[in-house]
Amino acid sequence: MTTFGLWIGIATLFVIGLGFVWVIRGERYFGYLWWPYVMGLGLVCVVCSVFISNDWSSALLGAAGASLIWGSTELKEQAVRAELGWYPFNDRKIDPPFAHVIKKWKAPSF
Amino acid sequence: MTLNVVGISAALATFMGVWLGHVSVRKIEREIVRLWIPSLMAVALGSGFLIASLLTSNLSLATASGILAVTLFWDALEISIRQPRRIRHGYAPANPANPRHARILAESPNATDMDWLDRDPRGRPYTSEELSAIKDSAR
């Protein structure tokens, strides 16, 4: 019997739970226009996980990467939630590099 | 150098689990009246993945099925408790054709069949007058 998958599953639940926190905080202080950078960081994590021989580290980095990619698609909706008053709104956000270009792209949302 | 696919397996299971969960929880809660049925099905499916994860000797399969098992257990909670709460607060649109939702619409003042989130960010918060106007125009 191997309990590795179960423990990774429980750990992943916390990684996803952390996603709720960083999406809310990240949108508040930085804004949803950071989404391509977050998505890219997630992809880098997943790719790097392939080169890590320790199974626990590889699995956690892969799960964290996937969670970053998912969270990047949640930022736009979170921005609307803050504007609607469901979450505190901060009007002094730190724009990402090339914000004017990213603004013209359609932010992904599921 | 040998490549380790456990991370890829974890990433795929996490992303697909969250994506399918996100879409199907909203769809199922919207259509179904007796939520204990799909919740129980999610627990049963999750248990199947958990057993598979415990029994397999392949580490990538154990990882993916372990993540899917825990995700499905969480989905049961989302279907039965968390999503109906969003409907009551108006954070997710109610379905008037579903008798359970029709009752929520009648009893909860904030519940609505309008999707508040179906709009793009505009860069500044809405005033309470604007919010009332949006709500009135949806009626």
Average pLDDT along chain B, 139 residues, taken 10 residues at a time:
93 98 97 98 98 97 98 98 98 98 97 96 96 88
Rounded to two decimals, the ipTM of the complex is 0.96
Q: How confident is the model at residue A110 (pLDDT cuts 50, 70, 90)?
A: confident
Cα distance between residue A25 and residue A32, in whole Å: 11
Looking at residue A31, its pLDDT comes to: 97
Question: Hey, what are B7's tokens?
Answer: 């991370």
CA distance to A23, A94, B48, B121, per residue, from B36 (Å): 30, 45, 18, 36
Residue with token string 């890590």: A52
- Substitution target in B8, B14, B119 with the highest count of A β-carbons within 10 Å is B14
- pLDDT tens digits, A5-63: 999 999 999 999 999 999 999 999 999 999 999 999 999 999 999 999 999 999 999 99
What's the start-to-end Cα distance of chain B, in Å?
63
> A-contacting residues of B 19-78, CB under 8 Å?
19, 22-23, 50, 53-57, 59, 61-71, 74
Cα distance between residue A87 and residue A104, in whole Å: 25
Looking at residue B2, its pLDDT comes to: 86
- pLDDT tens digits, A48-96: 999 999 999 999 999 999 999 999 999 999 999 999 999 999 999 999 9
Looking at residue A93, its pLDDT comes to: 97
Please report the sign of the dihedral spanned by the C-alpha atoms of residue B79, residue B85, residue B88, residue B93.
negative
Looking at residue B129, its pLDDT comes to: 97
Looking at residue B1, its pLDDT comes to: 72
Question: Which chain A residue's Cα is nearest to B67?
Answer: A9
Cα distance between residue A38 and residue B47, in whole Å: 33
CB contact under 8 A, B7 and A46: yes
Looking at residue B138, its pLDDT comes to: 80
Cα distance between residue B118 and residue B128, in whole Å: 18
Looking at residue B87, its pLDDT comes to: 98
Looking at residue A62, its pLDDT comes to: 98
Going by C-beta distance under 8 Å and a sequence separation of 6 or more, which residues neighbour residue A75?
Answer: A23, A26, A27, A31, A32, A34, A35, A38, A107
